[in-house]
Amino acid sequence: MEVKMNTKISKMQAEREKNVSKISELQARNKEIDGQITELENTDIVGLVRENGLTPEMLAQIIKAMQKKPLPVENVLTRGANYNERSDTHEEN
């Protein structure tokens, strides 16, 4: 006696395998995108440091000073918004 498997089961299993493959591809792409975002952020940071004539040592001192006495949150948010507005106008095409 031969047992027949419901055809819907095999179709669903095939669809699931296809989805697993797509998810894996998308996760790999997201990892690439995350790396590109980090590179662009780092480039922006280096640009800001150079634009303001800071050496790496000076930047380290500023960061250490901020760790000891952090800026009020309002100032950080305001400065971040100003930076974003400024960098939007300097985007490359």
pLDDT band at 1; cut points 50, 70, 90: low
Q: Where are the domains of the chain?
A: 7-53, 54-93
pLDDT band at 6; cut points 50, 70, 90: confident
- pLDDT tens-digit readout, 25-78: 999 999 999 999 999 999 999 999 999 999 999 999 999 999 998 878 776 556
Whole-model pTM: value is: 0.59
State the DSSP string of 45-91.
HHHHHHHTT--HHHHHHHHHHHHHSPPPHHHHHHHHHHHHHHHHHT-
What is the pLDDT, as a whole number, of residue 82? 58
